[in-house]
Structure 1
Amino acid sequence: MIVYFAGTAYDGVAGTDRQLADRLAALEPVLYVDPPISLVTPLLRPHLAGSLDGPPLRRQARGLWRLIPRVLPGAYRPGVHHASAALVRRAVRRAARRLGGRVTAVVIATYDAGLLGAVPGARTVFYATDDLVAGADLIGLPRRRLEAARDRLLTGADAVVAVSPHLQDDFRARGTDAAMIPTGCAPGAYDGIDDAPWPPGLEDFGRDRPAAGFVGHINARIDMDVLEGVAAAGHPLLLVGPHDPSHEPARFRALTARPNVRWTGRRSFAELPSHMRVIKVGLTPYARSAFNDASFPIKTFDYLAAGRAVVASELPSTRWLRDRDPEGAELIRAEAGAAGFVRAVGEELAAEAPAGTAARRRRFAERHDWTHRARDLARVLDIPAGSAREEVPAP
């Protein structure tokens, strides 16, 4: 069995943690461990209220179990975070015993060094899916604590994986030889996208004039200058995803009040194909920051999987995609500044792509399927990619 300590709840955004866990479960049973919650968590994050309903240990799918550890209020406050880690470790050991599986590998996809040794004897891999030290202010945790946790994980784990070339270089500079496993995509989710129904409420949007679109969280990571520039140029602009109310509230209200802009708010992963159908050009407009430089945005792959053109910020991950694959340089347009980005969007919206371009984009995305990423991680975990998985009995 693999224990996967995730940075996001399983029923939250279907990002790296969930995508990898789902596919690892095809190789070996997986216990997916949510970030811990307490009785006050729903007051701070109402969308997690349902997590307290039902038992902490739940079966999600064949070979995949989800554990939602319960901890004391203020789980991440100084001092309390040590008690939280101890409670999570105990909950995981109990769950593993209850499932009757022998834990052979542990993935720690958070910056919680207290999870080291959660399962004695298991091979432990630290998978850094973001540079949380650089994002300390964004996530609201002390930078010094995150630095100390990172350093303990780098030295205490049996192997280290970084999500981006920038983060891999940083770890190597600190004396740790890290492998790199980028984010991926689920191309099959966009099969038949051009026959998907037009989203409710957007029946007339993007039909007469091609639209640009952004799919994801609108927060401090996103370059508002780009979104405002695209809208000011008169292009139809579709925004799909939640907005952080603390991020540029006045600017965001003004942006979404424009007649050529539509904002849908949060949408489920299953709803994305119909929204992707509306757009011709997908946007990955990340502001330049140390946190973003270490990231590997999933949305770039998703746009390509949907057969859409892409304009992306000039991040190290974008350069890596363009440099390592000649098709990446052709299919992903990279721009460093807002003015160039907006100009590129206009050119892509006006362009008539050669026949077969959408299929080329989809084939490129298929080379970055989450299944390939899971197999890469399985190799780091010393799990044979062709191993036969036994069904874990119900508790």
Structure 2
Amino acid sequence: MTNLVVFSLERWDNVWRRNQILLAGLLHADPELRVLFVEPPEDPLHSLHTKHLPRLGRGVVRRGRRDGVPDGRLWTYQPTKWLPRRAGRALGATVDERMAQSVMRAARRLRLVDPLLWVNDPAGATLVRLSAWPSLYDITDDWLVAKRSPEQHAKLLSDENLLLAACSAVVVCSPALAESKGTRRQVVLIPNAVDVEAFREPRRRPVDLPREPIALYVGTVHADRIDLPLCVHLAEELNRSGHGTLVLVGPALLTSGQRACLLAAGIVLLGARPHLDIPAYLQHAEVLVVPHVVDPFTDSLDPIKLYEYQAIGRPVVSTPVAGFRDLKNPVTHIAEGSGFTEAVIGILLSPHLPTGPGPLMPGIPTWAERVVAMQKVLGGLRPLQM
């Protein structure tokens, strides 16, 4: 029986990301696999400071078919972060050490004997060190080039140095990450993918999608990724000309000021939607957009939307961001600044496009292929040598 602990950057919810998709595939492929999925902790003190209702971590929760996985073989664990890092150091144990110890206790309670460890959040470095479990570091974002405070950057650098040195395997999702991290050690490139059949099956128009022509973005709405001024310019021009509406679907991790600015421009923020519903939104948009910032952080990404947009086959307008700028197909248009807005409006003014999936480009990779690749990496993990 294989036991696996996953230290994740995200919660297990209805907005499926790489880790959830791969884990669901691994669980269906291996009836002996049992998984403890560690979610980011609840932080009651931070919630109070930001005037939100403080909550405790949910602890261990048994997951099943309603969560997209087989019954009784996946548990999530959400700890509670009781102290800020500075206070933890003063008391003689860091917050990350307390977190790691709580994860190890949860694994023991679930009788996950000698598990493998899959780390996606760099803060899991402490768990790698304390547990000595055979470990994999799965890098999906280069946080070292993201805009962070000096203290946060130093912590990220320390954690990544340990992970690159101690983990028996390192997986990256993009060619840029393979190039940058591959200078330190051997890495395995496993890009993202898509369930082509699920995105090709015709869906009904979502009831919350505006009736006018739609320029649609699907993904996390965050200033690290989204060019907010570009979105505002596009929305204002669409509204002024009456050619359509910009709709953003996905978790909106915005300040109150950023949110107000987007709404004032006429942008429709639909928020997070279940992953099973995403094909319907994409199929009923006249044009799909990728108004991403182009910088070293976004160049490290391999956007899942790159594959989902290709599977839908509808017109795409993207800034020259990693993945999209290298596509060679007639429905993808690369533009910047005012040219981005002009390209979107040009498509909306073209003869009416039928709803539903458009032409399918050959060779789009599937998640089933990625599951096989990840199985191979996990099967080769070896005990930690410190």
User: Does the TM-score normalized on the shorter chain lie above 0.5?
Assistant: yes
TM-score normalised by L of structure 2: 0.79
Question: d(CA) in 1 for partners of 2:36 and 2:95?
Answer: 19
Note the alpha carbon deviations across 1:253-281, whole angstroms, 9 max, x for none: 3312xxxx533233333443343233122
Does residue 97 of the first structure (1) align with residue 108 of the second (2)?
Answer: yes
Question: d(CA) in 2 for partners of 1:159 and 1:172?
Answer: 12
User: Which residue identity lines up with residue 83 of structure 2 in the other structure?
Assistant: P
Does residue 226 of the first structure (1) align with residue 226 of the second (2)?
Answer: no
Note the alpha carbon deviations across 1:188-207, whole angstroms, 9 max, x for none: 443533x41432363xx23x
User: Which residue identity lines up with residue 36 of structure 2 in the other structure?
Assistant: L
Question: d(CA) in 1 for partners of 2:87 and 2:351?
Answer: 52
Change (3 A) 1:71 1:239: closer
The structural deviation recorded for 1:377 is: 1.8
Question: d(CA) in 2 for partners of 1:238 and 1:341?
Answer: 16
After superposition, the CA RMSD in angstroms is 3.4
The structural deviation recorded for 1:8 is: 0.8
CA contact 1:163–1:181 (8 Å) conserved in 2? yes
TM-score normalised by L of structure 1: 0.78
The structural deviation recorded for 1:50 is: 7.4
Aligned counterpart in structure 2 of residue 245 of structure 1, from 246, 255, 262 = 255
Change (3 A) 1:40 1:19: farther
Does residue 373 of the first structure (1) align with residue 373 of the second (2)?
Answer: no
**Which position in structure 1 is the counterpart of 2:174?**
164
Aligned counterpart in structure 2 of residue 59 of structure 1, from 59, 63, 81 = 63
Change (3 A) 1:201 1:353: closer
**Which position in structure 2 is the counterpart of 1:305?**
311
**Which position in structure 2 is the counterpart of 1:22?**
24
**Which position in structure 1 is the counterpart of 2:139?**
128
Does residue 114 of the first structure (1) align with residue 114 of the second (2)?
Answer: no
Runs of 5+ consecutive residues of structure 2 not aligned to the other structure: 382-386
**Which position in structure 1 is the counterpart of 2:99?**
88
Change (3 A) 1:186 1:103: farther
CA contact 1:230–1:342 (8 Å) conserved in 2? yes
Question: d(CA) in 1 for partners of 2:53 and 2:302?
Answer: 26
Does residue 329 of the first structure (1) align with residue 328 of the second (2)?
Answer: yes
CA contact 1:36–1:69 (8 Å) conserved in 2? yes
**Which position in structure 1 is the counterpart of 2:8?**
6
Q: Which moved more, 1:231-240 or 1:331-340?
A: 331-340
**Which position in structure 1 is the counterpart of 2:39?**
34
Note the alpha carbon deviations across 1:200-238, whole angstroms, 9 max, x for none: 363xx23xxx42111223321212343234331533122
CA contact 1:134–1:290 (8 Å) conserved in 2? yes
Say which SS state the counterpart of residue 329 (structure 1) adopts: coil
CA contact 2:287–2:347 (8 Å) conserved in 1? yes
1:160-239 matched pairs, under 5 angstroms: 160-173=170-183, 175-193=184-202, 195-200=203-208, 202=210, 205-206=211-212, 210-220=213-223, 221-231=225-235, 232-233=237-238, 234=241, 235-236=243-244, 237-239=246-248
Change (3 A) 1:16 1:34: same
Question: d(CA) in 1 for partners of 2:115 and 2:102?
Answer: 17
Change (3 A) 1:357 1:22: closer
Say which SS state the counterpart of residue 79 (structure 1) adopts: helix
Does residue 358 of the first structure (1) align with residue 358 of the second (2)?
Answer: yes
CA contact 2:14–2:273 (8 Å) conserved in 1? no
Change (3 A) 1:17 1:351: farther
**Which position in structure 2 is the counterpart of 1:387?**
none
Q: Percent identity at matched positions? A: 25
Change (3 A) 1:51 1:368: farther
**Which position in structure 1 is the counterpart of 2:384?**
none
Change (3 A) 1:125 1:48: farther
Aligned counterpart in structure 1 of residue 293 of structure 2, from 287, 299, 316 = 287
Question: d(CA) in 2 for partners of 1:136 and 1:116?
Answer: 26
